Structure 1
Amino acid sequence: MSLRTARRRNDGGDDTWPGFVDALSTLLLVLVFLLSIFALAQFFLGAALSGRDAALERLRDQVAELGQLLNLERQSNADLRDSLGALSANLQTIRSERDDLSNQISGLETALNDARNKLAEAEMQAASRSQDMADLQERYQSTAEDLAQEKELSAAARNRVAELQASLTALRQQLARLEAALDASEQRDKEQQATIVDLGRRLNVALAQKVEELAGFRSEFFGRLREVLGQRSDIRIEGDRFIFQSELLFASGSAALGFEGRTQMRQVAQTLLQITEQIPSDIDWVLRVDGHTDKRPISTAQFSNNWELSAARAISVVQFLISEGVPPQRLVAAGFGEYQPIAQGDSAEDLRRNRRIEMRFTQR
């Protein structure tokens, strides 16, 4: 505070003008301080980021922002100068503007702190760029060493190419010999193929003969079986199948052969054994026993579904035939459940026809 200001205060006069001058002096000091800070920031940024174009560009942007702030402050200072005359005429307006200047000073202090933070961030970025530059130099050194090694490998590779070309020439010669051998082999294959075709034709003829023989034995087997079992409505021949109704062999829901069923199967076994003695050993035949049920569901302690029941009945017949002397390797058991009906209706007669045991005399 100046001596004149102090005297006026001591004299009890109006201190508005000296207060305004003090505020203006404080503002100018802050501006000078900010300019000093900006000058120092530019100095440190110029020293830290020399030679780094990308970082320097960002710092220039920051300096430009600071310059804009300085221009704003200069503009505010000019506004203050213009308002100096008006403040002399209107004391209340001067006091209000003094308060506004105080707020602006607070804003400038905040801007100063922001500038300091940006300066610290810029210094950190400069340190990071220095580390990146060191890493790039190290990579350059490593790349140079790798390049020297690649040059050595290239010389070795040229020698290897020469060796491979010599090997390729030898392989081409060997390939020519192999092609000649392949042509001779193809000629032999054509001759062998003709032989195979002839053998296949002979085999088909022989198989047809065996099938005809087996069909003859099947007809004889079914004929004798019909004579032994007699004319019954619950036993019939359909095509290549000999069909027994399940009621003739098993009780309802059971897979155990009853007395009548064992009697019928014993006659089947005796007839099969007689026919077996006449069948040549080179005919590989089997008697397949198929179990079938109707579509009504079943669920008992022994069988959870019709499939299990049909399979169990077929196995029961096969096991009885084995006990009667039929070779087990000539028997096959299969269960089909309700999935291959011969009658599609829901009547009692249709359901009865679907519950059956079928026997097929066929080749393996």
Structure 2
Amino acid sequence: MKKSTSPLLLAALLAASTALPSCVASKKFDDLKARHEATEQARESAERQAREAVAELKKANEELSALRLENKRLVNDSAQTGTILRRTQGLYRELSDTYDKLLKNNEKVLANKNADYQKVAQDLARREAELGDLANNLNKSRNEIDKLASDVKSREAKLAELEKALAEKDAAVNALKAKVSNALLSFKASDLQVKVKDGKVYVSLSEQLLFKSGSTKVDPKGQEALTKLAGVLKDQRDVNVVVEGHTDNVPILKGTAGMADNWDLSALRATEIARLLTVGGVQPERVTASGRSQYVPVAKNDSPQNKALNRRTEIILTPKLDELFQMLESNSTPAK
């Protein structure tokens, strides 16, 4: 009777049709399937030969039984008995030899086919193990891809949020620059400049506008500018104010009261301007004064014009970025 294809082979064929990720693996599996089908055909042929041999043997046994009856009947016939008996015995030997040959040939064929089948079964088991490993690796890769896709989606959302916060910060900086510029429109560009740099608003005031040479007391015109600036900044509570004093490289006159060098001069000027801003309404805790002396020039100190450019006070307005920094820190934290 013909045997049906094993469940293991069907499972392997199904797994191969759905899980093999490449043409090479499919080709190897098709080859294995062809070999298995060839083995099944050979096995079926051997079984068919065995059935034929059994049928022939049955037929021979039936003939042998008939001959035995005939032999028993002819024993009593003296003349014919010997001849028939010898013929019958010869036929019996021939039938026995034929049966033995058929039996031995059938056993040999079955043994060879069984060995081939065992080899194919072992190869199939090995392929099934390989397919299982491939399926596990594929599932692992899919899980990793899903996790990466989720991480990318999360990072894209955070990036969009960060870009929105940066855009809002830039808009706030530009709005602040516009307010400061409008408040200080009456002053000459040579004395006062407002610009945006690195996300901050820089208000640069020349020494000519603020101080007499070597002095730390702000002139009336400079006080007017600072009062207008303070009027804008006092309502901008999310803006920090840094006042930086700058000088050229010309040393101060010896004996100047309370000052040893340009460090003192720049720091005292910055402190005086910071004080005037707080008098104008800016909260003191938002204001920082610092002296930079001659070490951060905007031009070479090689001409009177360039030295005049370096003698300046810069008021740096920085929006508070606590929320933005928290977002940056959150984005830089490695995902667990």
Q: Which structure dedicates a bigger proportion of its chain to helix?
A: 1
Indicate the structure whose relative CO is greater, using CA pairs within 8 Å and at least 6 residues apart.
2
Give the TM bin, normalised by the shorter chain.
0.3 to 0.5
The TM-score normalised by the length of structure 1 is: 0.41
The TM-score normalised by the length of structure 2 is: 0.44
